[in-house]
């Protein structure tokens, strides 16, 4: 019930449309009931052979009334259907936008704990299924109006027979409720399995190079086939319930109608009921059971949709672990220094990743972070733009705790170049000017030139309008890196967080990328997770990390003599190069 209330809360902005649709539903139901009621005078008076003139007049009047009723019913049905579908689509559009917006604002920790395929399944499949819930709710209203319309007609005709009909209806309602509950539980399982299929397919397609490199196409096929079979088995359970519910309900319904027909026939034989009354009553009774039968189908749809809604609301209820303080302000221009003071951080409770970090980065300095794999280098850099919040201590910019600032204003002053080059399935210009369509082409070109990317761009098929494919698949590794550097140059941030790529490049690409990085770091405050000896040597300060702790701070020559760990890293990694 709570889930239904939440779904209906999205309908509040469209109350006027829905109330108008409900009005026309009532008109449709009234026209249907009135048309059944006209059967009584049609059979009692219209087929009266004793007075042919009056009989013809009655038939003529009823014919005109039926035409008028069905014209009004048709127009009302069109308006009702249009308004309901229009409102339903608007509600789903709103839900999808809200869900995607919420996902975008979730912290990185959420994505590390949940599969991308499962998240995508909720945004796509589950939100689409929620549309059935919205339409089913309106369907329940419509069918209920039809039901009560015909119920009024049968009570007006013969309240005794109508009372018997109510008993039959109550018997039919129980299996509808029972089947619906069973189907709800199966639908939750079914949607989880759809998410698993999406996840497997997403991983297989995203990592297609590795799949082919290891000749694992058959392995990936088996994984998907197994998940697909599991979904099929679950889906068939739902099919069995759905297929069983309709004939059972119809049998109970027709059994009740048969008893009522026998009782009605008996009343005709003893003269207490006219033929017209009986025909009209029987027709209205048949029509009365139509909404009940339809409600069974609607109930099945709504139970399936509610399971999807439950998954969507679970996503919407996922807390935003890192968020702006209620009194957060816009960060002023960076002027002096960045400070880490007694910073501690852990992804998993009681498993610290960073311990008692104290570090200062002056404006204009290049600070290189080095250390063994898993020492916390990337985590240290991720804390500055607040991708994660620290467990204790404080990070300050110009002696002000960064939690005082709005996250967007912090990130607007930080340029980030990640080790994994992340590009979008867009044009070259669209990737360099990411999210800023109003940037003049000349500025994009200048950034590309500074990143040593302009030459290869103008040689591509459509220049800056060339589509680069998903994740820049149409470009070489060096070209992708230079585009990401051009993107950072165009942003022109005062602070740079750089995770140098370790991927092997040919000599020429390596030189071009290194030159572009040097231009990028020029006149900027830079925190760099360093993998290149040239970057480390020219750094103003080198911070040596090991097991989440700072072991040494200094310049290259100093650390070679003062830090055994740094010397070991140098000999293992840099001297070998």
Domain segments of the chain as ranges: 2-316, 326-413+494-577, 427-492
pLDDT per position as a tens digit, 288-329:
667 766 766 666 677 767 778 888 888 888 888 888 888 899
Class of domain 326-413+494-577: alpha beta
DSSP 8-state secondary structure symbol assigned to residue 333:
P
* Strands laid side by side in the 541-546 sheet: 414-417, 495-499, 525-529, 366-370, 541-546, 549-554
Report the pLDDT value the prediction gives residue 166, as an integer from 0 to 100: 72
Report the pLDDT value the prediction gives residue 437, as an integer from 0 to 100: 80
Low-confidence winner among 247-261, 397-411, 474-488 (lowest mean pLDDT): 247-261
Report the pLDDT value the prediction gives residue 319, as an integer from 0 to 100: 86
Higher model confidence: residue 288 or residue 196? Answer: 196
- What Cα–Cα distance (Å) separates residue 341 from each residue in 394, 399, 519, 555? 5, 11, 30, 21
pLDDT per position as a tens digit, 436-464:
888 889 999 998 888 888 888 898 888 88
C-alpha neighbours within 13 Å on the C-beta side of residue 196? 16
Report d(CA 253, CA 264) in Å as an integer. Answer: 16
Helix (H/G/I), strand (E/B), else coil: 125? helix
Supply the DSSP string of 229-257, one letter for each residue: HHHHHHHHHHHHHHHHHHHHHHHHHHHHH
pLDDT per position as a tens digit, 263-291:
777 777 777 777 777 777 777 777 766 77
For the segment 4-11, the average pLDDT, to the nearest whole number, is 81
- What Cα–Cα distance (Å) separates residue 401 from each residue in 378, 393, 411, 441? 21, 10, 15, 38
Report the pLDDT value the prediction gives residue 150, as an integer from 0 to 100: 72
Residues with Cβ within 8 Å of residue 50, at least 6 apart in sequence: none
Supply the DSSP string of 481-547, one letter for each residue: HHHHHHHHHHH--SEEEEE---S---HHHHHHHHHHHHHHHTTSEEEEE--SHHHHHH-SEEEEEET
Report d(CA 54, CA 62) in Å as an integer. Answer: 12
Report the pLDDT value the prediction gives residue 293, as an integer from 0 to 100: 67
For the segment 229-237, the average pLDDT, to the nearest whole number, is 85
Report d(CA 15, CA 19) in Å as an integer. Answer: 6
Helix (H) or strand (E) holding 403: none
Cross-strand partners of 246? none
Report the pLDDT value the prediction gives residue 124, as an integer from 0 to 100: 79
Structure tokens at 189: 């399982």
Report the pLDDT value the prediction gives residue 552, as an integer from 0 to 100: 92
- The whole-model pTM stands at 0.72
For the segment 165-186, the average pLDDT, to the nearest whole number, is 69
Structural domain 2-316, CATH architecture: Up-down Bundle (1.20)
Report the pLDDT value the prediction gives residue 541, as an integer from 0 to 100: 92
pLDDT per position as a tens digit, 134-160:
666 666 777 777 777 777 777 777 777
> pLDDT grade, residue 346 (50/70/90)?
very high
Report the pLDDT value the prediction gives residue 544, as an integer from 0 to 100: 92
For the segment 494-514, the average pLDDT, to the nearest whole number, is 72
Percent of the chain with pLDDT over 70: 87
Report the pLDDT value the prediction gives residue 339, as an integer from 0 to 100: 94
Percent of the chain with pLDDT over 90: 16
Cross-strand partners of 345? 354
CA nearest 166: which of 178, 151, 177?
151
Asked whether residue 484 carries a pLDDT value surpassing 80, the answer given is: yes
Asked whether residue 550 carries a pLDDT value surpassing 90, the answer given is: yes
> pLDDT grade, residue 213 (50/70/90)?
low
Asked whether residue 401 carries a pLDDT value surpassing 90, the answer given is: yes
> pLDDT grade, residue 38 (50/70/90)?
confident
For the segment 326-345, the average pLDDT, to the nearest whole number, is 92
Higher model confidence: residue 266 or residue 209? Answer: 266
Higher model confidence: residue 488 or residue 305? Answer: 488
- Contact assessment for residue 500 and residue 532, using Cβ atoms and an 8 Å cutoff: yes
- Contact assessment for residue 466 and residue 501, using Cβ atoms and an 8 Å cutoff: no
Q: Chain-wide mean pLDDT for the chain?
A: 81
pLDDT per position as a tens digit, 103-121:
888 888 888 888 877 788 8
Structure tokens at 517: 């990085």
Report d(CA 225, CA 230) in Å as an integer. Answer: 9
Asked whether residue 573 carries a pLDDT value surpassing 80, the answer given is: no
Report the pLDDT value the prediction gives residue 354, as an integer from 0 to 100: 93
DSSP 8-state secondary structure symbol assigned to residue 332:
P
Report the pLDDT value the prediction gives residue 358, as an integer from 0 to 100: 94
Asked whether residue 49 carries a pLDDT value surpassing 70, the answer given is: no
Supply the DSSP string of 141-207, one letter for each residue: HHHHHHHHHHHHHHHHH-HHHHHHHHHHHHHHHHHHHHHHHHHHHHHHHHHHHHHHHHHHHHHHHHT
């Amino acid at each position: 019930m709570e889930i239904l209330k939440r779904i209906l809360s999205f309908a509040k902005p469209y109350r006027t449309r829905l109330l108008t649709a409900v009005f026309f539903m009532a008109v449709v139901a009234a026209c249907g009931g009135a048309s059944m009621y006209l059967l009584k005078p049609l059979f009692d008076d219209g087929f009266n052979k004793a007075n042919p003139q009056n009989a013809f007049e009655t038939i003529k009047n009823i014919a005109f009334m039926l035409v008028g009723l069905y014209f009004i019913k048709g127009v009302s049905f069109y308006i009702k259907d249009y308004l309901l579908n229009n409102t339903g689509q608007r509600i789903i559009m709103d839900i999808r936008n809200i869900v995607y917006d919420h996902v975008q604002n979730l912290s990185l920790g959420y994505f590390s704990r949940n599969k991308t395929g499962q998240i995508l399944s909720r945004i796509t499949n589950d939100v689409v299924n929620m549309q059935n819930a919205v339409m089913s709710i309106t369907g329940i209203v419509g069918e209920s109006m039809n039901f009560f319309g015909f119920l009024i007609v049968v009570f007006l005709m013969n309240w005794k027979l109508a009372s018997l009909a109510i008993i039959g209806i109550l018997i039919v309602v129980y299996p509808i409720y029972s089947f619906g509950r069973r189907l709800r539980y199966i639908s939750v399982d079914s949607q989880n399995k759809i998410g698993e299929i999406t996840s497997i397919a997403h991983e297989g397609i995203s990592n297609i190079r590795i799949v082919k490199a290891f000749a694992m196409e058959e392995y990936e096929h088996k994984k998907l086939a197994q998940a697909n079979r599991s979904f099929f088995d679950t889906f068939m359970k739902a099919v069995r319930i759905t297929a069983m519910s309709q004939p059972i309900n119809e049998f109970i319904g027709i059994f009740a109608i048969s008893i009522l027909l026998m009782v009605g026939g008996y009343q005709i034989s003893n003269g207490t009921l006219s033929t017209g009354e009986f025909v009209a009553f029987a027709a209205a009774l048949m029509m009365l059971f139509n909404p009940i039968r339809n409600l069974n189908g609607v109930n099945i749809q709504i139970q399936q949709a509610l399971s999807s809604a439950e998954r969507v609301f679970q996503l919407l209820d996922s807390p935003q672990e890192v968020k702006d303080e209620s009194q957060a302000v816009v960060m002023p221009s960076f002027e002096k220094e960045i400070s880490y003071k007694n910073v501690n951080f852990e992804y998993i409770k009681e498993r610290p990743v960073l311990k008692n970090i104290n570090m200062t980065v002056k404006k204009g300095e290049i600070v290189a972070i080095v250390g063994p794999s898993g020492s916390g280098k990337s985590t240290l850099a991720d804390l500055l733009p607040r991708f994660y919040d620290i467990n204790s201590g404080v990070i300050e910019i110009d002696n002000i705790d960064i939690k005082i600032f709005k996250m967007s204003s912090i990130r607007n002053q930080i340029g980030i170049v990640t080790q994994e080059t992340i590009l979008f399935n867009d044009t070259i210009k669209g990737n360099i000017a990411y999210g800023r369509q109003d940037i003049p082409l000349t500025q994009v070109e200048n950034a590309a030139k500074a990143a040593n990317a302009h030459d290869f761009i103008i040689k591509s098929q459509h220049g800056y309008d060339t589509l680069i494919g998903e994740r820049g698949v149409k470009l070489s590794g060096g070209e992708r890196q230079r585009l990401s550097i051009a993107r950072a140059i165009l942003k022109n941030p005062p602070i740079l967080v750089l995770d140098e790529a370790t991927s092997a490049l040919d000599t020429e690409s390596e030189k071009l990328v290194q030159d572009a990085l040097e231009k990028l770091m020029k006149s900027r405050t830079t925190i760099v997770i360093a993998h290149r000896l040239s970057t480390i040597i020219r750094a103003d300060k080198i911070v040596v990390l090991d097991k989440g702790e700072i072991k040494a701070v200094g310049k290259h020559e100093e650390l070679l003599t003062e830090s055994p760990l740094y010397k070991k890293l140098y000999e293992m990694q840099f001297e070998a190069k």
